[in-house]
Amino acid sequence: MVTAFSEAQNGLDMKQADGSAQLFPKDALRLLPTAACVCDAQGRIVDCNDKAIGLWGRAPAPGDTWETVSGDSSQQTRNFQLLLEAGRPQANAALVVRIAPEVGSLILANSEPLWDGDERVGSIVTFQQSPGSASGRAVLWETLDVLPAAIYTTDAEGRITFFNKAAADLWGATPEIGASLWCGSWKLYRPDGSLLPLDQCPMAVAIRERRPVRDVEAILERPDGSRVAILPHPTPLYDPSGAFVGAINMLVDITHQKVADERHILFARELNHRVKNALATVYAIAMQTLRYTDSLDSFRESFSSRLLALSGAHDLLVRCQWQETPLKTIIAEALSSFGPGRLDVEGDEAEFGPRATLTLAMTFHELVTNATRFGALANADGRISIRWQVSTDSEGERKVSLSWREAGGPVVDAAAQTGFGSRLINHNLMALGGSFHAEFARDGLRCEMVFPVINEAPGWPPAKPSISSTVRPSGATADPASPGGQVL
C-alpha cells in the first residue's frame, strides 16, 4: 500500500493526505537534529523523521494525529492537538508519549504554523525527550489533570491553553482551546446578581493588570441554567527570563459554604426569635401565677412546675430536631410520670410544628397538674382516658377532636373555681384557633377540645381564631367564678 510516508521515504515530493502540494521541503525533516513531524491543516500527521518514530515507538498510520500516535489521553495532550488544529504556535509544551499503556516518556514539544501565502496549510512540530525541569512540568500537567479542583491556564492574550476535567465539569461546558477567552464559563454574575462581562472577570483583570486577584466572588451560570458560587484565584505566570506568558486560575466552588452561611444567619434569627418568645412565655407564666396564688410557697410550687414543663417541651422539640412532633408523643411526655395501667390513650396520627407543640405541651401539663392535685391522679385508683380523632372540614382543614375523661378520683361535689390553669388552656387553644369545653362531673373532669393540625404553614397562627370556651360544673349554670371544689 502506497502512503504519504512511503512516498516520502522513496524520495518523492511530500503531499498532504488529500494529495495537494507539499507542506515542507523534501528530506528537510530528516536533516533536523531533533524529532519532528508535519501536520496538515486538520492536524493529521503527513510526514515525520526517524527520530520522531523512535520517540513514538511506531510509525504513524494514515490519518493519525498527534493525539492518536502519542497514545496519551490526558487533557494536556488533547489541548496540544486542539491548538495544532487551530494553527496556534506552542512553545515548551510538556507532554507524555506512551509506547505502551503502562510505559510513558516525557517530551518537550514546540509547534509553528506553516503558510502558503496567506493560507495556513499545516504545522510543523519539533520535540525531544525532556530534561529534568520539563519532565517536572509534564508531571505537573498530569497532576493538574486529575485534581478535583477546577484549574485552567491562558496565554498572555487570555486565550485558554489548558483546563482539567474538574474545570469542564464546573463550567458545564468545554471551551475551545486557543480560542475561548478569559474563562470557560457560559455566563458570569456578580454577587449582587448583575451580569459580569467575561472581559471584566477576575482572570481578565489578572492578565490585564498582571497581578493576582483574590477575594472576589462570582456566580457562574452553566448552559443548563444552574448556578454555582465560585471564588477565583487567578495568578500571572512568567517564564525563566521574567517575560509574562499567561496566567493560571483555580476556581473554588463555594456554593455549599454560601448555603451554610445563609442557613447560619437564618438559624441565628430563628434562635433570637425563639429566645424572645420563651422569655415572654416565662414572664407571662410568672405574672399570671403570681396573680392567682396567695402565698410565696404556693407561687414557688406552681411557677416551678410550669417552668419545668416548658423546659420539658423544649427538650421534646430538640429530640424531634425542631420538626413535626406526633400528638401521641406530646401527651406521653406530659403523662410520663404515670404508668400505663392508669392511662388509656388512643387516637389518629397527627403531627404539629414547634410552636404548636409548645402550646399543646403546656395545655396538657395544666390538665395533668389538675388531675394530680384534685382529680383522677390524686389517689391510687383513678384513671384517665384520652381519645381523639382527626377529620377534615368543608374547607379542607384537618382538625383534632379530643376528649379527656377522668374517673376514680375524689368526688367532685361542688362548683369548680377557674384559676390560671383554665385561663392558660383557654388562651393556648385560642392561639391555635381552637375551642375548649370543660365540665366538672361528680365522677371526674370531662374536657372536649377541638384544634387544627398546625405544621407552621404560612399564615400561622390564624388571624381570627374560632373561639368557643366554657368552664362549668355538671348540671350547673355557667359561672366560672363559683367558689369551692376543684380548681383548674
Within-domain flag for 418? yes
User: Do 379 and 437 fall into the same domain?
Assistant: yes
Q: How many domains does the chain have?
A: 3
Distance CA 480, CA 167 (A): 74
Residue 432: partners with Cβ closer than 8 Å, 6 or more residues away = 356, 359, 360, 451, 452, 454, 461, 465
- Can you give the pLDDT of all 488 residues of the chain as single tens digits? 333 343 433 333 344 444 454 566 667 788 888 899 999 999 999 999 988 988 888 889 999 999 999 988 888 888 899 999 988 898 888 888 887 776 677 788 999 999 888 888 999 999 988 665 444 555 566 667 777 889 998 989 998 888 888 999 999 988 888 788 899 888 999 999 999 999 999 999 999 999 999 999 999 999 999 999 999 999 998 877 778 889 999 999 998 888 888 888 888 887 788 788 778 878 878 887 788 778 888 888 888 888 888 888 888 888 877 788 999 999 998 888 787 778 899 999 999 988 888 889 989 998 998 898 888 888 888 999 999 999 998 888 899 999 999 998 888 755 555 666 778 888 888 888 999 998 888 888 899 999 999 875 433 343 333 333 333 334 433 333 333 344 46
Within-domain flag for 386? yes
User: Do 81 and 160 fall into the same domain?
Assistant: no
User: Do 264 and 394 fall into the same domain?
Assistant: yes
User: Do 240 and 314 fall into the same domain?
Assistant: no
The answer to whether 76 and 95 are in contact (CB under 8 A) is yes
Within-domain flag for 377? yes
Range of the domain at 329: 260-473
User: Do 424 and 292 fall into the same domain?
Assistant: yes
Distance CA 18, CA 229 (A): 49
- Residue 382's CATH number: 3.30.565.10
Distance CA 86, CA 41 (A): 8
User: Do 380 and 276 fall into the same domain?
Assistant: yes
User: Do 67 and 197 fall into the same domain?
Assistant: no
Domain end position, chosen among 128, 146, 164: 146
Give the Cβ contact number of residue 19 at 10 Å.
7
Within-domain flag for 478? no
User: Do 238 and 269 fall into the same domain?
Assistant: no
In this prediction, residue 190 carries a pLDDT of: 94
Within-domain flag for 480? no
Identify whether 461 is preceded by a cis peptide bond (ω within 30 of 0).
yes
Distance CA 366, CA 436 (A): 13
User: Do 315 and 449 fall into the same domain?
Assistant: yes
User: Do 343 and 420 fall into the same domain?
Assistant: yes
Domain end position, chosen among 195, 220, 253: 253
User: Do 99 and 162 fall into the same domain?
Assistant: no
Distance CA 303, CA 6 (A): 103
- Residue 234's CATH number: 3.30.450.20
Q: What does the chain come to in residues?
A: 488
User: Do 131 and 161 fall into the same domain?
Assistant: no
204, three cell numbers: 481578565
In this prediction, residue 406 carries a pLDDT of: 92
Residue 286: partners with Cβ closer than 8 Å, 6 or more residues away = 303
Within-domain flag for 486? no
Domain end position, chosen among 198, 228, 253: 253
In this prediction, residue 425 carries a pLDDT of: 87
Within-domain flag for 177? yes
485, three cell numbers: 371544689
Within-domain flag for 335? yes
Give the Cβ contact number of residue 373 at 10 Å.
13
